[in-house]
Amino acid sequence: MTSRVAILMGSPNDGDKMAPAAETLERYGIDAEVHVMSAHRSPAVVSEFASSARDNGFVAIICGAGMAAHLAGAVAAHTTLPVIGVPLSGGAINGWDSLLATVQMPRGIPVATVAVDGAMNAALLAVQILAVDNPDLVAALEAHRQEMTPR
């Protein structure tokens, strides 16, 4: 069975910032499905997607949003799958607002949070989660770390 990770973003304008997530997952042979949905403008769509994500074959969800950045939290409230939040830059304080909104989740509803505009790291975290019981992914992650090592 192929692992699938959902990549959600709050606006089509977030596509360039979230593209590294899809590219990284593809590098590791993990299917990524990209959707645009807003925690504020389409909350019922977000709820339905998150509530049915496991039954629809997803193993993790990466959420990128800016400013109020409630997408990851809204998703996490409706699923027990791992949710990884990517706070996106922009707005009046250039991503600090989205970072704080993403990382400050209430007790019992975790969202793993990466750096502002850290879509690639979000994907790598998803790969690491999937690698827990997948030796091929472990080997690929180790090879990637070796490639990054200065010579």
Which residues, 6 or more positions from 54, have their beta carbon under 8 angstroms from its beta carbon? 79, 80, 81
pTM: 0.95
19-68: per-residue pLDDT in tens? 999 999 999 999 999 999 999 999 999 999 999 999 999 999 999 999 98
Q: What is the DSSP letter of 11?
A: S
If residue 83 lies in a helix (H) or strand (E), which one and from where to where?
strand 83-88
pLDDT value for 92? 84
pLDDT value for 3? 87
Q: Could you tell me the residue ranges of all domains in the chain?
A: 4-148
Identify which of 31, 39, 37 has the alpha carbon closest to the alpha carbon of residue 8: 37
Indicate the CATH number for domain 4-148.
3.40.50.1970
Q: How confident is the model at residue 151 (pLDDT cuts 50, 70, 90)?
A: confident
pLDDT value for 150? 87
Ranges 25-34, 35-44, 91-100, 130-139: which has the least confidence: 91-100
Q: Is 43 helix (H, G, I), strand (E, B) or coil?
A: helix
Ranges 28-32, 34-38, 90-94, 115-119: which has the least confidence: 90-94
